[in-house]
Amino acid sequence: MKQQYKHLFPYKWNLSDGYPSEGIKPNGCKVFGTFICGGGSSMGYKLAGFEHLGGVEIDPKVADIYKTNHKPKHLFVQDLREFNKRDDLPKELYNLDLLDGSPPCSSFSMAGNRDKDWGKKKQFREGQAFQRLDDLVYTYIETIEKLKPKVALLENVKGLIQGNAKSYAKEMKKRFEDAGYRVQVFLLNAASMGVPQKRERVFFIGLRNDFDLPKLVLSFNEKPIVFGEIDNGLEQREKISGVLLKYLKYVTDSGILQTFKKSLGGRLGAVGFSYRVSNNLTPYTVIANGHNICYTDNTHYITKKELIKIGSYPLDYNFKTLQPKYLIGMSVPPVMTAQISNQIYKQWLSKV
């Protein structure tokens, strides 16, 4: 009998399984998060053996879901700009082993307005408040300066290092260095880490200057997980109809469905994105505010259980009143964070 491939961090798991992941030992390192959303990164750190202390989240509804699922020791429901002004923070948040942050990515997504919105205040879903989003990458670096963790990680979309957004990336690197960190920039794909999703993300990872350690090496080659592994064919599926189904024939394996832009008078955001996926292909990125569609012999909206597994979220996660696609689409997949933080511990934190 052919031996089944075993991933380091399984994408099918439950909160009730407990932490860390099977075969991983607690490492004694403490991590704190910002822009914690549903806790994708939080769960990843805990799967990798870290103690996650909690974090900062501006949206009360999302923060409540986070509290329900993670029971954090410290939870600050406020804008990170206000958090940075606080002088009453617990001592254990200073000199952390690792500080994590995923500033809202809509400002830099290639699918958004990008530089047309930079510098403007708008009412976004994040926090449901009028605020700028493009400068939050700098606000997070101010948090790094305030808390002075041994290692600081900043995650965002690939678009941050493309086109005009490169100026932000360049300035971010400079501010990391000014804050006292040697920073490396990685473009990583979750599909190579045991996540059933082609999700490319940029990671700025900084090591505080007082630690003299070799550069971090991140290379992942886990076996790709295809949709056929996720789909058991037993779930109740919602059929696609109307204009959406009419234009699906234009979707290609290469990715984003642009034909809706023409069909809806340029209002691409009114429909979102779609993609073609077959049983022998790894799914593309889960879209938080669009249509996530499986285009196979049985075309359908991706079901809740399929979304959860594609996002490597726990099967027993309590999403309360929010749609799973929102939190999963906004989160770093837990298994992706687990893989990265496992290497940060092995190569750096285990030696300091």
116 and 162 within one domain: yes
- Domain tally, the chain: 2
53 and 142 belong to one structural domain: yes
Q: What is the pLDDT of residue 265?
A: 41
Q: Is residue 293 part of a domain?
A: yes
Q: Are residues 319 and 337 in the same domain?
A: no
- pLDDT tens digits in sequence order for the chain, 352 residues long: 556 788 999 999 999 999 999 999 999 999 999 999 999 999 999 999 999 999 999 999 999 999 999 999 999 999 999 999 999 999 999 999 999 999 985 554 444 443 444 444 555 554 456 556 678 889 999 999 999 999 999 999 888 888 777 888 899 999 999 999 999 999 999 999 999 999 999 999 999 999 999 999 999 999 999 988 887 666 667 666 555 555 555 544 334 444 444 444 433 333 334 455 667 888 888 888 776 776 655 667 788 898 999 999 999 999 999 999 999 999 999 999 999 999 999 999 999 9
Is 105 catalytic? The answer is: yes
pLDDT of residue 273: 44
Given the residues 29, 37, 105, 294, select the one marked as catalytic. Answer: 105
> How confident is the model at residue 235, as a pLDDT?
66
| pLDDT (0 to 100) of residue 260 | 44
| DSSP-assigned states of every residue in 83-152 | HTT-S---GGGTT-SEEEE----TTT-TTS-GGGTTT--EE-TGGGSEE--TTHHHHHHHHHHHH--SEE
Task: Say whether 251 sits in a helix, a strand or coil.
Answer: coil
Same domain, 106 and 62: yes
Q: What phi-psi label fits residue 108: left (phi over 0), alpha (psi between -120 and 50 degrees) or beta?
A: alpha
Is 140 in the same domain as 56? Answer: yes
Question: Is residue 260, in this structure, part of any structural domain at all?
Answer: yes
What pLDDT is recorded for position 301?
Answer: 76
- Whether 242 and 284 share a structural domain: yes
Query: Is residue 2 in a domain?
Result: no
Same domain, 117 and 157: yes
Same domain, 71 and 195: yes
28 with 135, same domain: the answer is yes
CA end-to-end span of the chain, whole Å?
A: 44
Residue 328 is predicted with a pLDDT of: 94
Three-state secondary structure call for residue 47: helix
Q: Is residue 315 part of a domain?
A: yes
How far is it, in rounded angstroms, from Cα 40 to Cα 42? 5
Q: Are residues 251 and 158 in the same domain?
A: no
Residue 7 inside a domain? The answer is: no
The domain of 117 spans: 15-223+332-351
Q: Are residues 238 and 163 in the same domain?
A: no
Q: Is residue 295 domain-resident?
A: yes
> Who's near 100: CB < 8 A, 6+ residues apart?
31, 32, 33, 34, 41, 45, 55, 153, 155, 337
The reply to whether 281 falls in a domain is yes
Per-residue model confidence (pLDDT) at position 289:
75
pLDDT at 282: 87
CATH number assigned to the domain comprising residue 51: 3.40.50.150
Q: Using an 8 Å Cβ cutoff, are 35 and 101 in contact?
A: yes
In this structure, the answer to whether residues 67 and 196 fall within a common structural domain is yes
